[in-house]
Structure 1
Amino acid sequence: MTILQIVETAAAASLLLTVAEAVRRLYFHPIAHIPGPRLAALTWWYEFYFDVIKPGQYVFKIQELHKKYGPIIRVTPDEIHINDVGFLDTVYAPSMVRRDKYAYQLRALRVPGSVTAATDFDAHKKRREPLSPFFSKRNVVHLEPMVNQKVRQLCQLISKHAVNETPVNLSDVLFAFSNDVASNFVFAHQSDVLADEERSATLRQHSNELLLGININKHFPWIPDFLESLPLFISKPMMPPGLIDLLELFVKARSELMEVLKAKASGKSSDMPLGPTGKESVFRTILDNPSLPPFEKSVLRLEQEGALLVLAGTESPAKSLSIIFCHLLLNPSIFSKLRAELNTVPETATWVELEQLPYLSAVLEEGNRLSFGVTARMARIAHETLTYTPSSHAVPQSSTGKSYAIPPGTPVSITSLSAHTAETVFPDPFKFNPERWLGSEGRGLRKYQMAFGKGGRKCLGFELARAELYLAAAALVRSFDMTLWETDESDVAFVHDYQISMPNFSSKGVRIMVKKL
């Protein structure tokens, strides 16, 4: 057989297999009965087009597809999306109900060793249990002085701009504030990004640029795999600055981890004042846990764990605070009402005391809602057959009320965009309206809040983020008169999905002019 014949035979076989797989996906796949565009059922290139070519737009395209195909649709060959908050508790079930994560989506994060990236239910449970006491409300309350110190430093930095009558990029300094809090909470080594405003701006810019590559990681994981396989002196010049920052964070995590290991080996105890967990570092918490097998305590896994805890703990509260203050300054009546409520408590009010203020709580809930938390589809996989019947919240409303069987092993997602803009729950959903969260009806809305995730995989650092939001928002509202400077609502709008919501690429963040009260 000639080479040409071999090539022709291989091509014919390849074409036959492709056609056979296409027929299987369209007609014989376990979710072939689910409505949706044929291209989405046939190939992941459909998702790629709206993820990469039309940058970060698939989350919005999915909302359009629901209008055409109904509240349940097939968005990739293997995955279902449901636009119905009445099904939230089934998809994102409590911690005692087995739900796995979808490995295809998690490869975008590039940190397989973290608790967030654990696909298997049991692996996640094993990794999370040792961390839970460290991130408990009790431990956060103990470390509240550290958060307050950073709040004071934040106010001092903004005060300098008030004196000099210069604009401050609130997004930059809030990023530094949250980064310091997360880092200093997780690690015994203290960081002080907030002391350098220029570095704060650079780090936030690098972080945003790094996130712009996250969809490429999902579709073409071999690209970062290839870069990581090269010697660092070859790959580093090709890396975006944000990736270099991430490598430095890994080095910091590894350095702290090695010190903890060295101290444990020598029997040396910490000379730091320890809180209710008795641990000065998240690594101590993990390493001292007897239920974790040795491979879960490897240096590579733990440095990934520590790095992602800091990254996640930086982005979420910083983004929420930026969005909150942009909307507060666009709505002076809301700002005035919030300040009046804050003036009813002492300036020394603790986080626990601030939590009792209904309007402050409502403002923060609304800011979190419009931040959307993790905006990417975070599918869950059930091991039993699920039955979906449209509820009164289904979008669009189904005239037939037809039920659909979802086979075991099928990834199913409901995006935070779907949940947070459900008009049956949040009328006029893109309006910043804290009033919706007040009273008993407002408290009932919290079951639809996904800013920190939902169910058994809810964000581990939820309590720490809440402490930051309450303490920082209260201090800034009571300390300064602020006006927006070359900033409008478009600077915090959800325009692109890169794991988190991003505004137009031209946005420089929320910038303000301030006067000290």
Structure 2
Amino acid sequence: MVLQIIQTIGAVSLVYCVGEGLRRLYAHPLSHIPGPKLAALTWWYEFYFDVIQPGRYIFKIQELHQEYGPILRITPDEVHINDVGFVDTVYAPSGARRDKYDYQLRALNMPGGVGTTASHEIHRKRREALAPFFSRRNVVHLEPLIREKVEQLCQLVAGHAEEKTPVNLSDLFWGFSNDVTNNFLFAHQSNILADEAKAATSRQNSNQLLLGIHVNKHFPWLPRFMESLPLVISKPLMPPGLLDMLELFNRVRNELVGLMQSKQDSPSTDQGSLGPTGKTSVYDSVLDSKVLPPEEKSLRRLQEEGALLVLAGTDSPAKSLSVIFYHLLANPEIMKRLRTELENLDTPNPAWTELEKLPYLSAVIEEGNRLSFGVTARMARISSQYEIYVPSPYANPMPPISLTVEQRNHWALPAGTPMSISTLSAHTNPTIFPNPFAFNPDRWLEDKSLKNYQMAFSRGGRKCLGIELANAELYLVVAALVTKFDKLELHETDENAVSFVGDFQVAMPKDPRGVRALVG
């Protein structure tokens, strides 16, 4: 009897697998989209290049485009398009409905964050509650907070100059961005930058944590299982980066509990002197938000929101700064030109809004953002309506001549299709960015339209909330280090320290030790 049940289950499973496989290959709404049959048949194809060849699927996709053309079916349900001319259709302008692809979001295992919200409507509410705190006006108001950290960063670099010891700029940039993000968002203050060894350890822990995100995506039950275990069992099994995240969760929880209690005790506290938002922290703002329903103000949801904001707010500007300074030190002519522009300023300590007006500094920062790639993971968008892809002059490669006119002119994408254009494909399109891996700030001066293809902070209604804060950090740090230190040179560092060889939500380099320099 048991044997018969097993045989029946086996037979039914086999019939189902064969039937589903045939449907995916020949009767699926995306069966007309070019691509390898294995990718259309199963997600195990993606798994191989995500996990077995870790972080390499984004590069494999680029290879497949050269074989199959500018539109590609990369999983049974998802399409990737190597055509920046289609970017505004995929990443629709603000207000247009675009859901995110829940399958990809589970890699970070923090559904409570605004950046990991699948639903367009829920995202709109969460973003609206956060937007005042991330406004340009509020960043300008809190510029002294950033400047304080810039000065601390410069003092650390000066200390290495006095001691004639190499400085790990990547570690310092990580500590700087982490402190700025924490101190910008929360009432509790952090000072990781005060301890270079801790900053180095925290950066490495963060990178190690990100190395596991593909496992989370393919086996979402694993992090949920770990969370279900008592801490006394799960904690010894956690990587150091996850322990750091738990520590952040605890700090955020304490702040939230304290805020909730203070609002109950004295709900009408005068906060008129606290700047444009009138709030002590981002959570003070969110808890008072009229657009969020009560369930959106739960401790768990807000903890995840805070953790994700810190993760994104730390890594993105820190990586851009590492890329910028590697290339500045590797290209003395670029450094000389930038230093001349900065030294010609009349103001000794120019504000961020003044630095933004400098054309060459702006071009250097744009190029640094381009080659740091922002979020490297495929962040697919789902349209609620039928879309048609028509190759633009920027399609890479152009469709082969052998296709029929109808095939060359359009590919239908049914409503509900996840579609993406990765930052790797956009930022290295040779039609837009000739010699794409070269650090060439002049390209931004020669062609003002290039900003239309800059995706380091994403696009459309899901564009990064923290873009103003990140820009303020980049301008102030680059200007300060370039003007205050005449002699900076690379130390035991080559391009492997900033090269993009692995996609783990962000670009992982071949050499994880970071950009190291000697200060004269």
Fold shared per TM-score above 0.5: yes
Matched, 1:475 2:480: yes
Q: Aligned AA for 1:450?
A: M
In the other structure, the counterpart of 1:300 is: 300
Q: Aligned AA for 1:228?
A: E
Q: CA 1:162–1:58 in structure 2 vs 1: closer, same or farther (change >3 Å)? A: same
For 1:120-199, list aligned pairs within 5 A. Answer: 120-199=119-198
Q: Is the CA contact 1:482–1:512 (under 8 Å) kept in the aligned structure 2?
A: yes
Q: Aligned AA for 1:301?
A: R
**C-alpha displacement of 1:272:** 9.5
**C-alpha displacement of 1:130:** 1.3
In the other structure, the counterpart of 2:363 is: 362
TM-score using structure 1 length: 0.98
**Cα distance in structure 1, aligned partners of 2:141 and 2:476:** 14
Q: Is the CA contact 1:151–1:475 (under 8 Å) kept in the aligned structure 2?
A: yes
In the other structure, the counterpart of 2:420 is: 413
Q: Aligned AA for 1:421?
A: T
In the other structure, the counterpart of 1:242 is: 241
**C-alpha displacement of 1:477:** 0.5
Matched, 1:510 2:515: yes
**Cα distance in structure 1, aligned partners of 2:96 and 2:122:** 14
For 1:333-344, list aligned pairs within 5 A. Answer: 333-344=333-344
**Cα distance in structure 2, aligned partners of 1:94 and 1:486:** 44
**C-alpha displacement of 1:273:** 4.4
**Cα distance in structure 1, aligned partners of 2:36 and 2:214:** 21
In the other structure, the counterpart of 2:452 is: 447
The gaps in structure 2 that reach 5 residues or longer are none
In the other structure, the counterpart of 2:97 is: 98
Q: CA 1:134–1:396 in structure 2 vs 1: closer, same or farther (change >3 Å)? A: same
Matched, 1:387 2:361: no
Greater shift after overlay, 2-11 or 120-129?
Answer: 2-11
Q: Aligned AA for 2:423?
A: S
In the other structure, the counterpart of 1:83 is: 82
In the other structure, the counterpart of 1:437 is: 444
**Cα distance in structure 2, aligned partners of 1:236 and 1:263:** 32
The gaps in structure 1 that reach 5 residues or longer are none
Q: Aligned AA for 2:318?
A: A
Q: CA 1:191–1:271 in structure 2 vs 1: closer, same or farther (change >3 Å)? A: farther
**C-alpha displacement of 1:292:** 1.1
Q: CA 1:270–1:166 in structure 2 vs 1: closer, same or farther (change >3 Å)? A: farther
In the other structure, the counterpart of 1:501 is: 507
**Cα distance in structure 1, aligned partners of 2:310 and 2:7:** 53
Query: Residue 134 of structure 1 aligns to a residue in which SS?
Result: helix
In the other structure, the counterpart of 2:431 is: 424
Q: Aligned AA for 1:27?
A: Y
Query: Residue 416 of structure 2 aligns to a residue in which SS?
Result: coil
In the other structure, the counterpart of 2:467 is: 462
**Cα distance in structure 1, aligned partners of 2:491 and 2:429:** 32
**C-alpha displacement of 1:271:** 7.2
**Cα distance in structure 1, aligned partners of 2:467 and 2:149:** 18
Q: Aligned AA for 2:304?
A: Q
**Cα distance in structure 1, aligned partners of 2:462 and 2:130:** 13
Q: Is the CA contact 2:271–2:278 (under 8 Å) kept in the aligned structure 1?
A: no
Query: Residue 72 of structure 2 aligns to a residue in which SS?
Result: strand
Query: Residue 134 of structure 2 aligns to a residue in which SS?
Result: coil
Greater shift after overlay, 243-252 or 400-409?
Answer: 400-409
**Cα distance in structure 1, aligned partners of 2:168 and 2:291:** 45
**C-alpha displacement of 1:223:** 1.0
**C-alpha displacement of 1:307:** 1.4
Q: Is the CA contact 1:320–1:367 (under 8 Å) kept in the aligned structure 2?
A: yes
Q: Is the CA contact 2:274–2:280 (under 8 Å) kept in the aligned structure 1?
A: yes
Query: Residue 118 of structure 2 aligns to a residue in which SS?
Result: coil
Count of residue pairs brought into register by the alignment: 511
Q: Aligned AA for 1:347?
A: P
**Cα distance in structure 2, aligned partners of 1:243 and 1:413:** 29
Q: Is the CA contact 2:272–2:278 (under 8 Å) kept in the aligned structure 1?
A: no
**C-alpha displacement of 1:259:** 1.1
**C-alpha displacement of 1:402:** 2.9
Q: Is the CA contact 1:272–1:280 (under 8 Å) kept in the aligned structure 2?
A: no
**Cα distance in structure 1, aligned partners of 2:256 and 2:445:** 45
Q: Give % identity.
A: 62
**Cα distance in structure 2, aligned partners of 1:433 and 1:43:** 40
Q: Is the CA contact 1:384–1:408 (under 8 Å) kept in the aligned structure 2?
A: yes
Q: CA 1:95–1:271 in structure 2 vs 1: closer, same or farther (change >3 Å)? A: closer
Q: Deviations over 1:49-92 (max 9, x none)?
A: 00000110000000000011100010000000000000000000
**Cα distance in structure 2, aligned partners of 1:369 and 1:61:** 20
**Cα distance in structure 1, aligned partners of 2:320 and 2:348:** 22
In the other structure, the counterpart of 1:263 is: 262
**Cα distance in structure 2, aligned partners of 1:331 and 1:290:** 51
**C-alpha displacement of 1:473:** 0.5
In the other structure, the counterpart of 1:491 is: 497
**C-alpha displacement of 1:96:** 1.1
Q: Is the CA contact 2:271–2:279 (under 8 Å) kept in the aligned structure 1?
A: no
**Cα distance in structure 1, aligned partners of 2:271 and 2:29:** 58
Q: Deviations over 1:113-154 (max 9, x none)?
A: 111111010000010001111100000000000000000000
Q: Aligned AA for 1:458?
A: K
**C-alpha displacement of 1:270:** 6.8
Q: Is the CA contact 1:491–1:509 (under 8 Å) kept in the aligned structure 2?
A: yes
Matched, 1:252 2:251: yes
In the other structure, the counterpart of 2:410 is: 403
Q: CA 1:158–1:270 in structure 2 vs 1: closer, same or farther (change >3 Å)? A: farther
**Cα distance in structure 1, aligned partners of 2:332 and 2:178:** 29
Q: Is the CA contact 1:72–1:82 (under 8 Å) kept in the aligned structure 2?
A: yes
Matched, 1:118 2:91: no
Query: Residue 517 of structure 2 aligns to a residue in which SS?
Result: strand
**Cα distance in structure 2, aligned partners of 1:347 and 1:106:** 45
Q: Is the CA contact 1:270–1:280 (under 8 Å) kept in the aligned structure 2?
A: no
Query: Residue 116 of structure 1 aligns to a residue in which SS?
Result: helix
In the other structure, the counterpart of 1:226 is: 225
Q: CA 1:271–1:156 in structure 2 vs 1: closer, same or farther (change >3 Å)? A: farther
**Cα distance in structure 1, aligned partners of 2:390 and 2:272:** 55
**C-alpha displacement of 1:347:** 2.6
In the other structure, the counterpart of 1:329 is: 329
In the other structure, the counterpart of 2:72 is: 73
Q: Aligned AA for 1:303?
A: Q
Query: Residue 490 of structure 1 aligns to a residue in which SS?
Result: helix
Query: Residue 95 of structure 1 aligns to a residue in which SS?
Result: coil
Greater shift after overlay, 135-144 or 273-282?
Answer: 273-282
Greater shift after overlay, 146-155 or 394-403?
Answer: 394-403
Greater shift after overlay, 206-215 or 260-269?
Answer: 260-269
TM-score using structure 2 length: 0.97
**Cα distance in structure 2, aligned partners of 1:320 and 1:224:** 30
Q: Aligned AA for 1:327?
A: H
